[in-house]
Amino acid sequence: MHHAVNACLAPLYSVEGMHVITVEGIGNRKHGLHPIQESLANAHGSQCGFCTPGFVMSMYALLRSLKKPPTKEDIEENLAGNLCRCTGYRPIIDAFRVFARTDDALYTHGSSGLSSGEFVCPSTGKPCSCGLNLKGDKECTKTSTNEGDILKPISYSDFDGAAYTEKELIFPPELLLRKSANLCLNGLNGLKWYRPLSLQHVFDIRARYPDAKLVVGNSEVGIETRLKSFHYPVLVHVAHVPELNKLIIKDEGLEIGAAVKLSQLAKVLKMVIDQRTPFQTSSCRSILEQLKWFAGTQIKNVASVGGNICTASPISDLNPLWMAVGARFHISDCRGNTRTCGAENFFLGYRKVDLASNEILISVFLPWNSPYEFVKEFKQAHRRDDDIAIVNAGMRACLEKKDQKWMVSDASIVYGGVAAYSISACETKKFMIGNHWNKELLHGALKILEKDIVVKDDAPGGMIEFRKSLILSFFFKFFLWVSHQMDGLPLFDETVPISHLSAIKPFHHPSIMGSQDYEIVKRGTAVGAPEVHLSARLQVTGEAEYTDDVPMPPNSLHAALILSKKPHARILSIDDIAAKSSPGFTGIYYAKDVPGDNMIGPVVADEELFASEVVTCVGQVIGVVVADTHENAKQAARKVHIQYEELPAVLSIEDAVASGSFHPQTERSLRKGDVDLCFLSGQCDKIIEGEVHVGGQEHFYLEPHSTLTWTIDGGNEVHMSSSTQAPQKHQKYVAHVLGLPMSKVVCKTKRIGGGFGGKETRSAFLAAAAAVPSYLLNCPVKITLDRDIDMMITGQRHSFLGKYKVGFTNEGKILALDLEIFNNGGNSLDLSLPVLERAMFHSDNVYEIPNVKIKGKVCFTNFPSNTAFRGFGGPQGMLIAENWIQRISMELKRSPEEIREINFQKEGSVLHYGQQIEHSTLERLWNELKASCKFLDAREKVEQFNAQNRWKKRGIAIIPTKFGISFTAKFMNQAGALVQVYTDGTVLVTHGGVEMGQGLHTKVAQVAASSFNIPLSSVFISETSTDKVPNASPTAASASSDIYGAAVLDACEQIKAHMEPIASKHNFGSFAELALACYMERIDLSAHGFYKTPDIGFDWETGKGNPFKYFTCGAAFAEVEIDTLVGDFHTRQADVILDLGFSLNPAIDIGQIEGAFVQGLGWAALEELKWGDASHKWVPPGCLYTCGPGAYKIPSINDTPFKFSVSLLKDAPNPKAIHSSKAVGEPPFFLASCVFFAIKDAIIAARAEEGLTDWFPLDNPATPERIRMACFDEFTKPFIHSAFLPNLSV
């Protein structure tokens, strides 16, 4: 069997005797790619590439473990445990769908009965022509592409003329011949690792080491040791003990060994369900369904039944079910004594179970069900897939006929996530037994449940009202479900109304389908072609190098940071004696040790590299420790003890506004017309006022911050390899803190594993921190942050508070906007002011407003400094605007789309900062989208669905955007490049931009290839380096393709001018011949190109100017469905259209749109930051609760819209950028707010059922908690009022 596992959680000792296959092992660039790798690369499924090996290996394991090709559903379920931040998942799904089973004849050497040359669509398994849509390669060729282009089915014999199954790695014969043996291995810090092969051996070890920890999959212990600093001296790996791995089907039920993996259990449950009478397997079906949402495949492949039980997590998904179904746990001790404990009595307290120190859990017995015994599982989490539960439950009811009625003979109602352990609703159970199954039972049980299961007001995790409502909602769903199962039986008259069936209809996730529509306008050999990312083949094989992959020189050291634990405090003393005696310790450095200046900052030097006297946030750097290993450095840093005198902390925007806590000189204002006069004149029929709270967002780049720094020439120069969007900032910071000239500091970046703005400025202080010990010790030092530290200290997207006052007519025409906005800057200014400024520029979105007054301020708070993130304040400004647009529509009882349309800006409109709209395509985009998504028809269908379904509602929305392209700081709009032509006709390009997955190097190489009229393969871009192109602006603001493409084009044109005299004299057969001839004539074949964006500039004194070169516009439509009882939602459809001019590379641009949309969907509806503030008192003040993937949830593959269509506007050249193209990186991000407003549209329908038709606020992200609590009904009334707003860290 082949199993995909998480490498980070699989101890090396645990795979002894196994064949370990990595991504490099199945294919590589030199010897050929595996078909999985090839398909993923060709389908544009790898952008930054950091997540790519995980996807490849998950798919590889699936294909190798099945006897026949998987279904599309198998593939998507198998990939649910993999995360990607770049692609939006659609191209990955398309790449792997070609391996799915449709027509079995495709995967054999037999005939399918199809005529020769007929194409079979992998989506339907039927003949179609979508795969024959070939792209032209002539200049200005126009065509469309959809999923058919890249979904040509891959048979087992499509690569290299031989079936790839015949070339696969076999299980090594020497391992087959080798007999397993007991193991006792030693590790660091006195760790002992045992691998017993018999139960008696397990008991012998436990007798010697009573506190030894039993391990199977390491999915819990691995987290504890890696992230929580737990230390277990003795680990006993019991995965190979036969007595613990039995799965026996008995007449009375199923016996499940404690070490049985969850994936094994799922397979056996499926088999049992197929083989046995349906009524016997109600428990099996509920457990199987819960396992589907339990975790990703990689976790279920190693996690065990017993491990999950004995961990006794209060949010275990399975323990409530074991309790509800009456499972019995078989327990044994080292003397051979055995006993049985009912699951309901096994859990004693928080992570405490009924096991003595000499006992272990042997197996679980799951009894078959009797007729009319019904078992159902429930779970609600932040994210549907691979997420821990907020509340879960297992419920069982046995019904029997008595006195011509159906009565409850037995019941069990168990909840998790509401107390320190899974608990039974005992009083509810007593009430149910003996009562008739009818509405009186339902209402009575609900009343008792309110008191039976109590969630304390200070319960960890918060969301108290939401959790209370879920307790009732789950039981209501259970009642309806049982009633529906009984429907049609004699004497049963508790029929479920048709409109209520939506509450219990099982969720079916259809296979994700995407379509892409664009034209190809080729310029020369490469520009305009949908070329594959130049690094794709390296990334799919795992050969692509990132900073942490760079080989470390001998005697290198690792750095770890000493961090503040208080949000605002004076440092009284630092005790580092224990750290200095820690294993592997080499040095420790503070502010006093900085050779140069300790004050740093990208705009204003207002933060210390190492805090000297006062700390102003949790996670502020106080010093740095270096040691021989990463783990030793972290351990030494943890041993530094600091005494503080705590000072008052500002922990929200509202606190900052109330106390006047703002960064100095950050007040900004913009004006147009006379707002005050308009409000007083009576022109406005209505005036509304309100507030919008906009949540922040974690970047969650897959590659954490990393820098390797070393000195050369005896310490005279400093070089570094860094994961950064701004190598020049690294160069500048390091030179500054070391007291060196910038000419002696070099920063190089090959590629980065995602950035999204988070590596623009906040990576530089980390490089500077590592440079201090590297310089002082004259040796290489690497710093790589762990995920939790990275999230805690490097800042996020700014949260915002917007206070608006809007005047408008009864027709919906907006006349005046008075807006005050604040952003949460954190404890240093960083880029918060330009982020605020861009938010102010975009506060009109696309709407014509005659009178505008906008004021903004940057709040100083005691959180880590917030920073750039895709959109750079623009999405926050536009979201505030769309909130009041939506409110106007409710005030006037008109659709939001109508309000938007009558207020659209036109060609020639003058914006509130003085810039004039030119070449507007907004209305064309809007109309094309409304037509393609059949908006009116969609609205009619949604209303029809909502009328027929009480507990599920659908909503739709269509949202426009206008995003300004340029850095708003004029001086940053410049770019340099170095182009070198070699005598073999190949070209080396170096420019100041960084490749972070967005395809910048690919587009720039296309520009160079077309300029020289050579193939793209003849152009190479190695890395970004400050000693090749100086003073480069960060790769940000979506402008990099524009400015670096133009700089490279300038250099190419210079070289062509040098070559022209030679070229005009001879008719050369190739570019290589021309290059050699020029060399022989001593012609300079290199050139430095330069570009500065013309016709831009803005004066904040006057509040007027042209901050942007042009605008990228677009629009998006979404349809969602929400479950009003629990707050779950899914996006049924998303259609996106953007005007990108003549795209430099439409395939890469489509990938950017899809990735930005799904990332924006996370911001709008999934990703919530929770800080220790007044709203979250269960979190320590100033601390980030959501500092890892366990608590912070980005979209997974199943959050992708079911139907995901992306179109590029045709015949819309942009005269203001290179080759008539437009920027793409940030503009699509905000379009995902259409999902947010579609959710709100669905909530409006739900509230209407309760007679609530007035406007209501909804903060983003629209998490299940916010959705559920906004859908006010009988199950939330006991706990909240109709205007209740869940807490949000802003």
Cβ contact 750:1023 at 8 Å: yes
Q: Are strands 253-257 and 359-367 parallel, antiparallel or unpaired?
A: antiparallel
Q: What is the mean pLDDT of residues 269-281?
A: 96
Whole-prediction pTM value?
Answer: 0.95
Distance CA 1256, CA 1244 (A): 9
pLDDT for the residue 190: 85
889, pLDDT greater than 70: yes
Beta bridge partners of 787: none
Cβ contact 58:540 at 8 Å: no
Assign 225 a pLDDT band (cuts: 50, 70, 90).
Answer: confident
853, pLDDT greater than 60: yes
- Phi and psi, residue 13, nearest 5°: -60, -30
Distance CA 261, CA 268 (A): 11
105, pLDDT greater than 90: no
For 1027-1059, the pLDDT digits (tens) are 999 999 999 999 999 999 999 999 999 999 999
Assign 167 a pLDDT band (cuts: 50, 70, 90).
Answer: low
Percent with pLDDT over 90 in the chain: 89
408's torsion region: left (phi>0), alpha (psi -120 to 50) or beta? beta
Amino acid at 52: T
pLDDT for the residue 386: 83
Q: Of 2-11, 420-429, 638-647, 1135-1144, which gets the smallest average pLDDT?
A: 2-11
Burial 717-754 (b: 16+ CB within 10 A, else e): ebbbbbbbbbbbbbbbbbbbbbebeeebbbbbbbbbbb
Is residue 449 packed enough to be buried (19+ CB in 10 Å), middle (13-18) or exposed (0-12)? buried
For 322-368, the pLDDT digits (tens) are 999 999 999 999 888 999 999 999 999 999 999 998 999 999 999 99
Q: What is the mean pLDDT of residues 880-890?
A: 98
121, pLDDT greater than 60: no
Assign 155 a pLDDT band (cuts: 50, 70, 90).
Answer: very low
718, pLDDT greater than 50: yes
Assign 369 a pLDDT band (cuts: 50, 70, 90).
Answer: very high
Q: Are strands 781-784 and 557-563 parallel, antiparallel or unpaired?
A: parallel
For 1245-1276, the pLDDT digits (tens) are 999 999 999 999 999 999 999 999 999 999 99
Percent with pLDDT over 70 in the chain: 95
Q: What is the mean pLDDT of residues 1077-1099?
A: 98
940's torsion region: left (phi>0), alpha (psi -120 to 50) or beta? alpha
Instruction: Please say if 901 is a catalytic residue.
Output: no
Q: What is the mean pLDDT of residues 670-675?
A: 98
Distance CA 963, CA 1233 (A): 14
pLDDT for the residue 227: 78
**Residue 932 vs residues 8, 479, 938, 1117: alpha-carbon distances, Å:** 45, 42, 11, 10
Q: Are strands 1019-1020 and 987-991 parallel, antiparallel or unpaired?
A: parallel
Distance CA 561, CA 784 (A): 10
Q: Give the Cβ contact number of residue 682 at 10 Å.
A: 7
Could you say which of 1226, 1250, 1265, 1274 is catalytic? 1226
pLDDT for the residue 1206: 98
pLDDT for the residue 228: 81
Q: What is the mean pLDDT of residues 849-861?
A: 98
User: Is 1015 strand, coil or helix?
Assistant: coil
127, pLDDT greater than 80: no
Distance CA 1227, CA 1149 (A): 11
Q: Give the Cβ contact number of residue 1187 at 10 Å.
A: 22
Distance CA 338, CA 479 (A): 38
Distance CA 528, CA 1147 (A): 9
Assign 274 a pLDDT band (cuts: 50, 70, 90).
Answer: very high
Residue 606: closest CA among 825, 752, 785, 801: 825
Q: Where are the beta strands (DSSP E) in 403-556?
A: 405-416, 423-424, 513-517
User: Is 733 strand, coil or helix?
Assistant: helix
Match 């709100």 to its residue by tokens.
Answer: 1240
Q: Give the Cβ contact number of residue 679 at 10 Å.
A: 18
Is residue 916 packed enough to be buried (19+ CB in 10 Å), middle (13-18) or exposed (0-12)? exposed
Cβ contact 604:829 at 8 Å: yes
Cβ contact 1228:1137 at 8 Å: no
Assign 110 a pLDDT band (cuts: 50, 70, 90).
Answer: very low
Distance CA 1122, CA 1136 (A): 21
134, pLDDT greater than 50: no
Cβ contact 219:14 at 8 Å: no
pLDDT for the residue 1219: 98
Q: What is the mean pLDDT of residues 641-667?
A: 98
Residue 1158: closest CA among 546, 535, 700, 528: 700
Distance CA 615, CA 620 (A): 7
Q: What DSSP character marks residue 395?
A: E
Amino acid at 437: W
The CB-side HSE value for 62 (13 A sphere, CA atoms) comes to 28
pLDDT for the residue 102: 67
